[in-house]
Chains A and B, each alone.
Chain A
């Protein structure tokens, strides 16, 4: 069964600190892996997209890594800001352009 799991379910950190979110998947075949940020009451916004051949991709303070062999990905947030408080969703695409499997998300709270 195609599944995407994320950990932790929720995380609280202080402003300025770094954090890492985890994503494990069993989706096969694999096309790409995406990380989205979803603010409360808003739609998800794309942070990174990685294909099988990419093992790291950055978007400002966000850096995603991918290990296609172990089917794991991580999202590292550097020097967190209050505006980073949101849910972070990992999405794996199977057959080219289709079969998007969403994880349940990690709820991040950044405190002053």
Chain B
């Protein structure tokens, strides 16, 4: 089975610019997650989707971050405008059910650098 696909692999932008990341989960996985991983730290959940509905976005900085999962498959995460502290790896993951005891399958992430 194909894994979670993310693009781009790397992105460099200047502060105050906007950026978007794309994620294609494993086919049939209803749940999709976006995480932010700052260097040397564990991932932090930004948003969790169940199909095309939001389950948890309590840690998403909604003044600058937005995410959508139209049609319950692919998802995009956008940052506008970017700040220096947004420099991190953005990981997308998917799982079969709403979490439970199902493993999350991660993509290799998008490494974002803010100049």
Contact = CB atoms under 8 A, between A and B. Distances in A.
Interface string A30-66: 0110100000011111100101000000000000000
Given A43-B91, A43-B108, A44-B106, A96 B41 contact: no
Nearest to A93: B99
Interface residues of B, number: 26
Interface of B: 4, 31, 33, 40-45, 48, 55-56, 91, 93, 97-101, 103-109
B42 A43 contact: no
Contacts, number: 58
Q: What 9 A-B pairs are tightest by C-beta distance, nearest first?
A: A97-B99, A43-B106, A102-B42, A46-B103, A97-B98, A97-B100, A43-B108, A44-B106, A104-B42
Contact of A45 (B43, B97, B106): B106
A46 B56 contact: no
A41 B108 contact: yes
Nearest to A105: B42
In which size bucket is the chain A interface?
Answer: 20 to 34
Nearest to A107: B40
A12 to B, nearest CB: 17
5 contacts: A43-B107, A43-B109, A49-B103, A91-B42, A97-B99
Contacts of B45: 100
A75 B109 CA distance: 25
A89 interface: yes
